[in-house]
Structure 1
């Protein structure tokens, strides 16, 4: 199932997307009662970020190809940092580059969306607490990392695009992940190259953070992280999920 949040007629609503002979259609969706009335074609609604997380936990240095590219040591455990909820935007919304940033970077990632309150998970029960998966762009102001603290570099407004929807019925172990600038592929890997898999990440994260429904865990980015400029259109594509596309604009 593909779960969405969308705007129509001035309201924000929760829905699901179903494939029909007439194309993708949107239905109202309730987590208790399931799919409801048909709203209309998917291209007739404006997609929002598919969830509204209170907490966004991110994993760094989690792809073997990226460690090789940057000649970094293998981590002993998932390396964690946070992004603030104000950074979340949805498909098609612009990533805003602050005028002070010298190098703004894309990082295409698989994002895990939590479905049940999660605390002290284990490898055996972690999957039971996942609602599904979506695409994420862990936007980073590279030069602001020199602060020593990453809050500004990772959490400025618009620095966490999510979407286009939450896919609930896929396995995360070996999905193709790619990032494109316009039509040029700049990242290409699979989640099979992740050093720590989703269950391992969730077991580690929930030792320290209680995650609640709608919270998000970003699982790391493969090799090829690089700059993006105003005028670029950045797409994160993940097998079995879809494509998240955002333009880059200057922030006034």
Structure 2
């Protein structure tokens, strides 16, 4: 299945360019778990399969796509998890020596949104990645069991300000975690640990890699994160980025394609309202 969040927080299945709303979950109301979180929890508890009653369809182009999970309790990200990226960044250590870091859930933005550059005098880079969405609560799970706790995968951009500030700060500005366009459940692909993906800047391929080249694979990342804290349905863990990262500026367009998604994550870049940075970096 391909499952999207759209408009006022409704959820729907995506097929052949159409969105079929799952009416049972309705819109997301203030103070309530998102419809996507409720849908994922129901899946994890075995309360539903792919036979939920649907309405529609509506063309995908006629809806506003939101981040697939608008309200994860946490977003874990992996630093230096491709050896070619380690070389290009001249890093002496990689993920096995760094662990994971957290990104603010408030940094999420959906397909078709804008990345807002906050400062006029700092460098900002694109980092295309593959993210998995937790489907069942997980605590201290083994690598062998880790993917049984995953609902699906999606595309993600880990936008980054270069400098010496704390990594989580540099990657948590509002709009610095574009995600989407929707979640693909694991049964749709042969092996999530061997997904090919590309990141394009203004139509030119900048990153071209596969999850099979990760230092820590997706199952490793889920297993490790579950030793740090309890993973809840809807939480996001993202893979880390391969070589090819580069700067973005006002007017740029970034596009991430991942095998099996049958859709792209596309965002534009704006510097409107940017101010000088208060820290030296």
TM over 0.5: yes
- Of 149, 161, 186 in structure 2, the residue corresponding to residue 141 of structure 1 is 161
Match of 1:59 among 75, 78, 83: 78
> The residue matched to 1:177 in structure 2 has which SS?
strand
In structure 2, the partner of 1:15 is 12
| Cα distance in 2 for residues equivalent to 1:80 and 1:72 | 16
CA contact (8 A) 2:120 2:271 kept: no
Residue 72 of structure 1, CA deviation: 3.4
| Kept in 2: contact 1:112–1:132 (CA 8 A) | yes
Query: Is residue 250 of structure 1 aligned with residue 271 of structure 2?
Result: yes
In 2, Cα distance between the equivalents of 1:243 and 1:101?
30
Mapping for residues 47-126 of structure 1, pairs under 5 Å: 47-52=65-70, 53-73=72-92, 75=94, 76=96, 79-126=99-146
> Once the two structures are superposed, what CA deviation does each residue of 1:86-140 show, in whole Å capped at 9, x if it has no partner?
1000001100001244101100000010111111111121111101000000001
CA contact (8 A) 1:15 1:26 kept: yes
**Corresponding position: 1:178 with 2:198:** yes
The whole-number CA distance in structure 2 between the counterparts of 1:187 and 1:126 is 27
**Distance in 1 between the 2:10 and 2:121 partners?**
35
C-alpha separation in 1, matches of 2:84 and 2:264 = 22
1:25 maps to 18
Judging by fraction of residues, say which structure has more helix. 2
Q: Deviations over 1:53-102 (max 9, x none)?
A: 11000001111221233343464356211100110000011000012441
| Cα distance between partner residues in 1 of 2:140 and 2:90 | 33
Runs of 4+ in 1 over 6 A off after TM superposition: none
User: 1:36 is matched with which residue: 41, 47, 54?
Assistant: 54
Q: Match for residue 2 of structure 1?
A: 2
Q: Contact 1:114–1:211 (CA<8 Å) still a contact in 2? A: yes
Q: Give the whole-Å Cα distance in 2 for the aligned partners of 1:37 and 1:101.
A: 49
**Contact 1:115-1:214 within 8 A present in 2 as well:** yes
Work out the CA distance in 2 between the residues paired with 1:233 and 1:141. Answer: 17
Work out whether residues 78 and 201 of structure 1, in 8 Å CA contact, stay in contact via their aligned partners in 2.
no
Cα distance in structure 2, aligned partners of 1:166 and 1:101: 35
Equivalent-residue separation in structure 1 for 2:173 and 2:167 (angstroms): 10
Change (3 A) 1:159 1:101: farther
Where in structure 2 are the equivalents of 1:128-167 lying within 5 Å?
A: 128-143=148-163, 146-147=164-165, 149-167=166-184
Unpaired runs of 5+ residues, structure 1, are none
Q: Report the Cα offset of residue 44 of structure 1.
A: 1.4
Asked if the contact 1:78–1:196 (Cα under 8 Å) also holds between the matched residues in 2, the reply is no
Q: Provide TM-score, normalisation by structure 2.
A: 0.82
CA change 1:250–1:71 in 2 (3 A) is closer
SS state at 1:121 partner: coil
Q: If each structure's strand is expressed as a fraction of its own residues, which one has the higher value?
A: 1
